[in-house]
Amino acid sequence: MAKYIKAQTVIIIAAVCGIVVIVHWPALSAKALSFDDQQYLIKNVLVQNPGWASGKRFLTEVLEPSTVAGYYQPLAMISLMLDYAAGGNDKNLRPFHITSLALHTANTVLVIILLYMLFGNIWAAAAAGLLFGVHPMTVEPIPWVGERKTLLAAFFSLWSLILYVRYSRSGGWKAYAGCFAMYLLALMSKPTSVAVPLVMLLMDYWPLKRLRIKSFFEKLPLFILGVIFAGITYVSQQRTCVAVSPTKVGPVNIFLLLCHNIIFYLYKITVPINLSSHYAFPKPFGITQPMVLAGVVGTCVLIPVLIFSLRWTRAAFTGWLIFFAAIFPAMGVVGFTNVMASDKFAYLPSIGLLMLVTSLLIWLGSNSGTRKAAVAFILILAAAEAIATQRYIVYWQDSITLANHMIALAPDSAPLYCDRGVAYVKRGEYELALADFNKAIEINPKYYEVYHNRGIIYNTKGEDDLALGEFDKALRINPKYAPVYDNRGRIYDSRGQFDKAIADYNTAISLKPEFVDVYNGRGNVYEKQGNFDHALADFNKAIAINPKYHDAWYNRGNTYKNKGEYAKAIADYDKAIALNPEFADAYNNRGNVYRRQGRYAPAISDFDKALEANPKYADAYFNKAGACEGAGQKKEAVAAYKAFIQYASINRTAQIELAKQKIKELEQKTSGL
């Protein structure tokens, strides 16, 4: 009989997992990048350079993480780094999504196991686990790369709770040590799991029913650990991003925010429609706002009803209280985000409501008359959730579609227009991007990142005066925003205003010492000034920060070339090409080095590779023509010079005339033969 029960349990859990995977499977093809994915993936040099050194940095940068603005979350970052090592990148998100779906499926299993351990009914536990696994509010952490932390923290938190239940039933230091270790790992994944010990204490009241003075003291080490991580989180968040203390949020706003969110989350969980990754603050945020008023009224009705329910059962009040305790760190009492609420915040806290659901299902199942109705209701509800989940996943198929969906739900939110504008920039649709950036500034005139983004577009379009104006506006709002100095320095560099460029690069480095692009940019300026030693030092620093930064290898190769150190130059070009096989400039410049050495065959081969990467590359044609001349290939030289004339810009008059003269001379020599 025991074997049958065990086999039955495995089959039931496996069936639930299969359904969860099938429902969420379309998320594996999602290509949307959202909000902070820039710092979690696209521009994170540690994630993009997997290894012990990067892992050590993630673990040891406790109070001031260098690559992600925000709190300490080393295990989440290491997890993303491992996916990058497995082939993931901003153009191939599938490895990230596979891991995230695997974690969500594992979390579903852990939810079922926890509920089974608490209530002893596998069918009720599996039903509640199924509702969790296919719920539309669980979509967000799977296709959103930067939200790996939510899944990973939930994974370790659930293990901690499971081991705690085992400890509460049988005692033993091994179970307690495992519980403590899993809690530590949860905190190192995402610090919002700080409330787990409080959840354990509430579980002692119900359903474990073992609450006494000892219950608190046995959890004291866990509470101490939580307090330590809460302090680390606040300090690291304040140093690298923003953390608004409760005193600045204000008691009235805290009350209104808590009331609003209590009802908001319960509504979204029970009626999961119009879901979004960005729930903006209602405007105006006050009691006169209908959504806020509904939250206050709803909370004032809900809490007395839950307390009154204690006359019959502890389940309703305690289940809700567990949810509230677990979600409290993300409720906005300490301001650290520009959203009012988020689906991901409810991911782990939903365990409190799932306990209530499991208890209710067991009660309904005890009566043959209600058992069938309960089963039918669960199946219908799970099917409805699955349909809603797959419909929501569709919005994650690309960044523009996701942004359009969120803007439709929150048309007055500046960050959404900024995010869509960035997505348009990646597509090269600059006018649409400018329209979105203009709208963002209209909504929030102090949105300095948008002025910076608008300046980048003007710079790309060759309108540098407008770009400089935008950069200056951004710096007047936030003079400590390092990327502006980087991009303004590039414009000064292009104008030959080298002193101003270096001054901006120096400021950027003082604000952000690991700013790899700035070292590369400043190195280029030093190289143009003939200050090769300083240039090499900057390129070395850029390469040390990001060994996969092909531009730095290329630029260092240029410096070695100009110093006449051809062997070193070729080695650096080799590295740049290995990192970027379509790097036309690297092929062209390596070809020039071969040409200077009189090695015409490899030089011509490199120029041809440069032209494969860029068929309109005028300089490569000109250089190839010179190499063909040196190799005695006169017809090929004439053809290359003619191609150069075809693709060269009209302001290169002298070089065009030289090419024409060369063609004339070569054709005369050819005809003479």
Q: Between 482-494 and 516-528, two packed helices, what is the crossing angle to 10 degrees?
A: 20
Domain membership flag for residue 337: yes
Burial 559-576 (b: 16+ CB within 10 A, else e): bbbebebbebbbbbbebb
Confidence bin at 427 (pLDDT 50/70/90): very high
pTM of model > 0.95: no
Percent of the chain with pLDDT over 70: 98
Q: How much is the pLDDT for 340?
A: 86
Tokens at 503, concatenated: 């001054």
pLDDT tens-digit readout, 281-329: 888 888 889 899 999 999 999 999 999 999 999 999 999 999 999 999 9
pLDDT, tens digit (0-9, with 9 covering 90-100), for 601-624: 999 999 999 999 999 999 999 999
Per-residue pLDDT band for 137 (boundaries 50, 70, 90) equals very high
Those residues with Cβ within 8 angstroms of residue 367's Cβ, 6 or more apart along the chain or in another chain: none
Of 395, 428, 452, the one marking the end of a domain is 395
Output the pLDDT for position 251.
86
CATH label of the domain that carries residue 629:
1.25.40.10
Task: Quote the pLDDT of residue 2.
Answer: 47
Which long-range CB contacts under 8 A does 293-296 form with residues at least 24 apart?
A: 294/263, 295/256, 295/259, 295/260, 295/261, 295/262, 295/263, 295/264, 296/256, 296/259, 296/260
Q: Is 548 helix (H, G, I), strand (E, B) or coil?
A: coil
482 is a domain residue: no
If DSSP codes are grouped into helix, strand and coil, which group holds residue 341? strand
Residue 89 bridge partners (DSSP): 92
Helix ranges, 335-429 (H): 350-365, 368-394, 399-409, 414-427
N-term to C-term CA, the chain: 99
Query: What single-letter amino acid sits at 530?
Result: G
Using the 3D structure, point to which of 371, 395, 419 is the last residue of a domain.
395
pLDDT 10s digits, 583-606: 999 999 999 999 999 999 999 999
pLDDT of residue 1: 39
Task: Read off the pLDDT of residues 68-106 as tens digits, 9 standing for 90 and up.
Answer: 888 999 999 999 999 999 999 999 999 999 999 999 999
Query: What residues have CB less than 8 Å from 641, skipping those under 6 apart?
Result: 621, 622, 625, 659, 660, 662, 663, 666
List the one residue out of 79, 18, 9, 5 whose CA is nearest residue 44: 79
- Which position has the token pair 């939200």? 147
Is the pLDDT assigned to residue 127 strictly greater than 50? yes
User: Is residue 106 in a domain?
Assistant: yes
Is 88 a member of any domain? yes
**pLDDT given at position 672:** 54
| 616-621-622 Cα angle (round to 5) | 130
**What would the pLDDT profile of 635-659 be if each residue is shown by its tens digit?**
999 999 999 999 988 788 889 899 9
For residue 151 the two structure tokens come to 């899944």
Q: Quick one: pLDDT at residue 332?
A: 80
**At residue 369, does pLDDT exceed 80?**
no
CA 131 distance to own-chain centroid: 27
- The tally of domains found in the chain comes to 2
**Is 239 or 193 the better-scoring residue by pLDDT?**
193
Place 135 in a pLDDT band, splitting at 50, 70 and 90: very high
Q: Look up the domain containing 622 and give its range.
A: 603-673
Whether residue 120 is contained in a domain is answered as: yes
Per DSSP, the residues of 227-261 read: HHHHHHHHHHHHHHS--B-HHHH-HHHHHHHHHHH
**Lowest model confidence (mean pLDDT) among 4-18, 239-253, 302-316, 407-421:** 239-253
Evaluate whether residue 413 is within a structural domain.
Answer: no
Residue 436 has pLDDT above 50, yes or no: yes
Q: CA 468, CA 491: separation in Å to the nearest integer?
A: 8
Q: In this structure, is residue 243 part of a structural domain?
A: yes
Distance CA 69, CA 36 (A): 9
Residues 6+ apart with CB under 8 A from 193: 153, 154, 156, 157, 183, 186, 187, 348
Q: Which of 395, 428, 451 is the last residue of a domain?
A: 395
262 contacts: CB under 8 Å, gap ≥ 6: 295, 298, 299, 302, 324
Q: Which amino acid is at 134?
A: V
The mean of the pLDDT values for the chain is: 93
Give the integer Cα–Cα distance in Å for 313 and 330: 28
Residue 9 falls inside a structural domain: yes
What pLDDT shows up at residue 247?
Answer: 63
162-172 mean pLDDT: 93
Q: What secondary structure letter does DSSP report for 280?
A: P
